[in-house]
Amino acid sequence: MSDDATYTASVVGGTGFTGGELLRLLAGHPEFDVVQATSRSKENKTVGHAHPNLRDLDLRFSSPEELESVDALFAATPHGVSMEQIDEFQTAADTVVDLSADFRLDTEGQYDEWYDGHTRPELLEDSVYALPELTRDELPGADLIASGGCNATATILGLKPLVEEGILTGDEQIVVDVKVGSSEGGAGGGEASSHPERSGVVRPYAPTGHRHEAEIEQFLGLDVSFTVHAVDMIRGASATCHVFPGEPVSKGDLWGAYRGEYGEEPFVELVAGGGGVYRYPEPKAVAGTNRAEVGFELDPGNRRLVVFSAIDNMMKGSAGQAVHAANVALGIEETAGLEFGGLHPVGAP
């Protein structure tokens, strides 16, 4: 353990895209010392073998069957794995941060409806959802943290101020269109994520019934008509929400709602029709960062409000959010290890 680090950490499932992002963040974090990264497929190989940007990290992948005792364990595993191995995870670590969907929802019934059931429903009431802008007060001391889904995170951040200000009450029509990069499919995304098939597309892949609707409904109390498109970028999730408020709303109302909600947030920036090229939230502008951009525009003729939000799906939508939540849970400065502000200009994110 390094002299300055306060906590030890491990990453289970370290060879995937999100596992690599976790390792990158934790290796550069002033309070964490990464002591283990696990992989079944690349056991004994160096971390740099899977993640060339981490070739200087002196660490080899080890078996997930032999977990070291650590302060914080980050599980970057597919859905269904953590609920089966949660006892081993909690034996190994005081704080478990799960990046899958296994502990995001409140009830067994929700998992029956949206997933394939749940094998450890008694633990659902103990988990804390990791979207610090939403659940910051619940995170300190939490020992089971469920990192929010990327598409849900983008949508929730866009709509939350409208709910808090009473502009949305739950009776309105809300249409959400999310466009996502190929990394959302993971390192083993399959045929649809191969470059020849993915390049140049704007492909609806979840026209209805996307599982992240459950998170939006649970945490905002809203029913949304939700569609997701795969587009030709690597990193990013961009949500466009078409909202039809029941009562007239002004730009002043909107600025008040969004500034009131996010004015003190370290990782949320308002981008709403200013000057320059990037007038509204743009995934390219936040690639590699834990930042979210949120903006809006009024369409008075149609009594419509259009809300935009953009995140890096692997950072604010996954690894960055997980580290942010762990910081809050452990009493670390919440921006620690997450200060990178992005690059401009930059190629396809």
Binding residues: 15-18, 313
| Domain-located, residue 306 | yes
Same-domain status, 105 and 166: no
User: The domain containing residue 21 runs over which residues?
Assistant: 7-147+318-330
Check residue 190 and give its pLDDT. Answer: 77
Helix (H) or strand (E) holding 216: helix 213-220
| Mean pLDDT of the region 87-110 | 98
Rounded Cα distance between 165 and 261, Å, is 9
Give yes or no for residue 306 having a pLDDT over 50. yes
| Mean pLDDT of the region 166-185 | 93
Burial class (CB in 10 A: 0-12, 13-18, 19+), 61: buried
Q: Encode 143-157 in three state secondary structure.
A: CEEEECCHHHHHHHH
- Domain of 24: which CATH number? 3.40.50.720
What digits encode the pLDDT tens for the residues 185-201? 887 777 887 888 888 99
Same-domain status, 162 and 227: yes
Same-domain status, 115 and 40: yes
pLDDT band at 1 (very low <50, low <70, confident <90, very high): very low
| Domain-located, residue 300 | yes
What digits encode the pLDDT tens for the residues 113-157? 999 999 999 999 999 999 999 999 999 999 999 999 999 999 999
Same-domain status, 59 and 203: no
| Domain-located, residue 54 | yes
Same-domain status, 130 and 265: no
| Domain-located, residue 86 | yes
pLDDT band at 3 (very low <50, low <70, confident <90, very high): low
Count, residues in the chain:
349
Binding residues for NADP(+): 15-18, 313
Contact assessment for residue 161 and residue 262, using Cβ atoms and an 8 Å cutoff: yes
12, 105, 139, 150: the catalytic one is 150
Same-domain status, 156 and 290: yes
| Domain-located, residue 339 | no
| Domain-located, residue 134 | yes
| Mean pLDDT of the region 39-63 | 96
Same-domain status, 21 and 128: yes
| Mean pLDDT of the region 259-275 | 95
Same-domain status, 294 and 244: yes
Provide the percentage of residues in the chain whose pLDDT is more than 90.
Answer: 90
Sequence-ordered list of residues with C-beta below 8 angstroms from that of 264, at least 6 positions apart, any chain: none
Coil/strand/helix, residue 48: helix
| Domain-located, residue 341 | no
How many separate domains does the chain show? 2
Rounded Cα distance between 316 and 186, Å, is 16
- Domain of 232: which CATH number? 3.30.360.10
Check residue 349 and give its pLDDT. Answer: 63
Long-range pairs of 196-204 with CB within 8 A, sequence gap ≥ 24: 198/230, 198/232, 199/232, 200/232, 201/230, 201/231, 201/232, 202/229, 202/230, 202/231, 202/232, 203/229, 203/230, 203/231, 204/228, 204/229
Active site residue 241: no
Check residue 269 and give its pLDDT. Answer: 98
| Mean pLDDT of the region 164-191 | 90
Alpha carbon dihedral 273, 321, 205, 343, in 10-degree steps, equals 50
| Domain-located, residue 343 | no
Residue type, 340: F
Same-domain status, 305 and 163: yes
Same-domain status, 142 and 155: no
Same-domain status, 195 and 115: no
Same-domain status, 21 and 131: yes
What digits encode the pLDDT tens for the residues 64-82? 999 999 999 999 999 999 9
